[in-house]
Structure 1
Amino acid sequence: MTRAARPAMRLNAYVLAGDPAWIAESLGSYYPLVERIVVSYDRSHRSWSGHPLSVEESLRRISALDPEGKVVLLPGDHVAVDRSLMATETAQRQAALDAASEGADWVLQLDTDEVLPAPGVLLDQLAAADARGAGALDFPLRNLYAMTEDGRFLEQCGRFWTTQAAYPGPVAVRAGTALTVARQARGVLHHRVDVAPRNTDPAHPRNTRVDAVIPAAHAVLHLSWVRTEEQMREKRDVSGYAANRDWDRDLARWRWRAKHPLLTTAAAPVTRRWWDRYRLVAVPRLSGSRP
């Protein structure tokens, strides 16, 4: 579908504020596309598990990049130590999505460490999803793991350094969608985009349907682990899922890989776990950017 053929769609977005590392790059990458951005945060500036979050710094950075007054603040109570963290996250996302659905046809749900390098490509695929009556757009993400000293990145990849997509949840859903777990939306038709004609996400079966193919350079950039040492320590402390991993071990590996990117990438063909395979890439969209 050409850009000229796109139907007029009203597009809003929501974000969860508390992680300022890449928030300017993230919101700035899609700010021109949307009419409103609902910013959800806990009014006590704490995480789902009750740890302090950098909400104030996040709000300051968001305010600085909102020249058109699109941002709508949505404080709430999102600490619930008596229920599962996933249930609390889903409830916060649902409240934000409901608010962002007002006056919209579709709602973007990109996290603040996810950057959109090709807005026009996403709009084309959103138009295709809309035309076929889909309720969710599954758009590929590239997981960037660490920044090297020369400004390149270690990226999760396939066994022989091939591009590997990831899908933590639809990047856009129809207004009024009911979320099931985190940003997942089940029971609706998904328009699924990948970077190859066959599924490249090892977390899904090889024969998973692919509805459209885009160049890998147009996939969303996910910068979850691209941080300073201080930011990684904060991530360790405030992560809602800290109990599910050995953070001391993982941080030691993260430091070593960032310092030895060539050895890290050379090991990809013999690394058994797909989430521990990396390649070294330059990302022009992030040239000169630092967390």
Structure 2
Amino acid sequence: MRLHAYVLAGDPAWIAQSIGSYYGIVDRIVVSYDAGGGSWGGAPLSVDESLARMRAADPDGKMVFAPGDHSDASRPVMTVETEHRQAALDAASEGADWVVQLDTDEIVPSTEVLLAQLRETERRAAGALAFPMRNFHARTPSGAFLEHCGRFWTTQSGYPGPVVVRAGTRLTLARQAADTPVHRVDVSPRNTDPAHPFGTPVHAVIPPSDAIVHMSWVRTEAQMAEKRVVSGYAPERDWDRDLRRWRRRAAHPLGTALVAPFARNPFGRFRITRLPEFAEVEP
């Protein structure tokens, strides 16, 4: 099976760790970005820094750089994002059987497990692999991390979209695949994602340690200031409130973790955890 990938240049925080985690299993990586250095909503984006880090993470020359027009303040951000991802996916589909679509803050702990589940996706004649992500929120003063979790500190999975899709797949919203059977993997026989109904099917189970690590909010203050402007869901959040909570949780991790059983919001529960060496490096 021939495996390609696409990445979007603009978020430099965890590029080396992310691309390095799956670099060995792909033959080609399409790097897509706005030629003017803009975000989907028209704000300035750290494209140049991202490109420099990507070139440094490409010892075998697998990357193909594809600038384009992917910034438009006059249209909904998610519409522009979906079109950008589709253009990148189309380019990466050339000569491929499957395309990895991971953001540059998502890290694969075990390519062996990922490939095994991709082979199972192919065996089941599915068109996309939904693989669990563990979502990390902040680095604590001790060097540990706050991770989103279940009510009693159990592992909670997230699924922003399939992480691998068949070449030529059509996207409906961001990374979501249109009208294709999905092979869905979780860390439990029962769905652990509060964004999905309890009875959502689970086709395979892996250990939590093999789930993709999503370093979404593990960033510096400067990187969070940029994220509040350029992320696809930026217009939907009260960022002043969210950043105050982010700082308070990071400063008081034990108190944050202790209230998990009492938090009504399933996305407002956290546990303290440590990660392998790759995540101990400052972004």
TM-score (norm 1): 0.95
Distance in 2, matches of 1:236 and 1:87, equals: 18
- SS of corresponding position for 1:207: coil
Corresponding position: 1:163 with 2:155? yes
CA offset digits 1:258-279 (Å, max 9, x no partner): 0100000000011110111000
> Deviation at 1:227?
0.3
Q: Distance in 1 between matches of 2:169 and 2:52?
A: 30
SS at match of 1:126: helix
Correspondence 1:108 to 2:100: yes
Unpaired segments ≥5 residues, structure 2: none
Q: Is the 8 A contact 2:93 2:167 kept in 1?
A: yes
2:193 corresponds, among 190, 201, 209, to 201
Task: Report whether the alignment pairs 1:172 with 2:164.
Answer: yes
- What is the deviation of 1:86? 1.1
Match for residue 219 of structure 2 among 227, 232, 237: 227
Aligned residue in 2 for 1:31: 23
Is the contact made by 1:12 and 1:106 (CA closer than 8 Å) also made in structure 2?
Answer: yes
2:124 is aligned with 1:132: yes
**Contact 2:186-2:205 at 8 Å conserved across structures:** yes
Q: CA deviation at 1:142?
A: 0.3
- 1:196 is displaced (CA, Å) by 0.4
Mapping of residues 1-291 of structure 1, within 5 Å: 9-291=1-283
2:191 alignment partner AA: N
Normalised to the residue count of structure 2, the TM-score between the two structures is 0.98
Q: 1:60/1:104 Cα in 2 relative to 1: closer, same or farther (>3 Å)? A: same
Q: CA deviation at 1:109?
A: 0.2
Cα 1:94–1:29 change in 2 (3 A) is same
User: What is the CA–CA distance in structure 2 between the aligned matches of 1:218 and 1:240, rounded to whole Å?
Assistant: 27
Q: 1:252 to 1:76 in 2, by over 3 A?
A: same
- Contact map agreement 2:81 2:232 (CA 8 A) in 1: no
**AA partner of residue 160 (structure 2):** P
For 1:205, the aligned partner's letter is P
Cα distance in 2 for partners of 1:271, 1:222 equals 22
Please identify, of 28-37 and 278-287, the stretch whose mean Cα deviation from structure 2 is larger.
278-287
In 1: Cα distance, 2:53 partner to 2:73 partner: 29
Q: CA deviation at 1:77?
A: 0.3
Q: Percent identity?
A: 64
Q: Does structure 1 conserve the Cα–Cα contact (< 8 Å) formed by 2:106 and 2:212?
A: yes
Unaligned runs of 5+ in 1: 1-8
Counterpart-to-counterpart distance in 1, 2:180 and 2:23: 27
- Which AA in structure 2 matches 1:167? Y
**C-alpha distance in 2, partners of 1:267/1:38?**
43
- Aligned residue for 1:5? none
Give the secondary-structure state (helix, strand or coil) at the position aligned to 1:41: strand
Q: Is the 8 A contact 1:117 1:285 kept in 2?
A: no
Give the CA deviation at 1:148: 0.9
Which amino acid in structure 2 is aligned with residue 243 of structure 1? P
Residue range with higher mean Cα deviation, 241-250 or 265-274: 241-250
Q: For residue 57 of structure 1, what is the amino acid of its counterpart?
A: E
Q: CA deviation at 1:287?
A: 4.7
